Amino acid sequence: MNMVDIDRASVTDQTTDTESTTINNSEDKVLNIVNISAVSDGELRNGKDLMDSKTSIVEPKYPDNLDDLTRHFVYMSLSLFIGYKALLINETPVACLIKDEVTDKILSIGYNFTNISLNGTQHAELIAVKRLIDDPTINFKNLVLYVTVEPCIMCASFLRQCGIGKVIYGCGNDRFGGNGTVLSIHLDKNLLDDPYPSFGGIMRTEGIQLLRNFYIQENESAPQPKVKKNKDIDQKLFPPNEFNLTKEEFVSFYGSGREDVWESHDKEITPTIGKGYTLGDFIDLNVANEVPFLEEEMGKVDQDQINEFFHLFYDITDEGKVDYLKRIEKYNSKKRKLSEVTEV
């Protein structure tokens, strides 16, 4: 029996059982996916605790309106939907996309593929970059990677070696984070390749909630399936919102109007200052269908999937608070299998 340990992102949650999780390899699911070879990181030095070894990541004075971050939320929403599609095939729902800042086009997507491939290096970021690495026309400095969870140490090193322009992520990775939570691979001056700026916190609660929906699933193929405790993820609070940024770095990207988010630790970033949001504000079926490689590799996208995806998450209020009064749903792989059988 092929069993794969899930060693991807682990999100701090004081109300969550922290036991290690395993899931069965889904041999009946075969995707048209690129092969990722193992990447050797070499010796990685810790740049988090030694501030003098870190470069500055203050954003240059772009003409962008920092009061309106909607475009970042659109791309992160799409990354979350790609993660949801990974959840449907029993993969860890961590996903990303890569956008060209010059052309404003999505060039690539990636999603965890470790369980089906039985290859621990098949992380979302590596899959997304691998599509582009041999294209001589692409300038990696112009590329922005949007990923639902902070890159792990391996991926952070790979992104730096490739010369990625910028990384924007959702929630932190408390066990393996390579962009400031555990190690600051993206900024460490002791490493040879150029550093890259990284900013977290865009739709971080949605990134956490998507992972929660994965970790409550039971491994039905185990000899003695372990019943997961504390499945009431619709009643769990989120950990404090903390940033791996100085105040100056935070303001350079999120704008001075959001300083209270950096200071309070109990508010979320919103696309427009003083205005909340729901996922339906950013994507719909037409937008999802425009994402390259998505249907080709992960199957048809339909309105039922879009609706189920929306119902997994809380809204964020105008005050930047999670709307825990909203009734959300939990992904249920057993229910989906039963419905698929019924349809046949």
Report the catalytic residues.
125
- The burial of 338, by beta-carbon neighbours within 10 Å (0-12 exposed, 13-18 middle, 19 or more buried), is given as exposed
3-state secondary structure the chain: CCEEECCCCCCCCCCCCCCCCEEECCCCCCCCCCCCCCCCCCCCCCCCCCHHHECCCCCCCCCCCCCECHHHHHHHHHHHHHHHHHHHCCCCCCEEEEEECCCCCEEEEEECCHHHHCCCCCCHHHHHHHCCCCCCCCCHHHEEEEEEECCEHHHHHHHHHHCCCEEEEEECCCCCECECCCCECCCECCCCCCCCCEEECCCHHHHHHHHHHHHCCCCCCCCCCCCCCCCCHHHCCCCCCCCCCCHHHHHHHHCHHHHHHHHHCCCCCCCECCECECHHHCCCHHHHHCCCCHHHHHCCCCHHHHHHHHCCCCCECCCCCECCCCCCCCCCHHHHHHHHHHHC
Instruction: State how beta strands 166-171 and 143-149 pair.
Output: parallel
With a CB cutoff of 8 Å and minimum separation 6, the contacts of 338 are none
- Three-class SS string for 69-126? CHHHHHHHHHHHHHHHHHHHCCCCCCEEEEEECCCCCEEEEEECCHHHHCCCCCCHHH
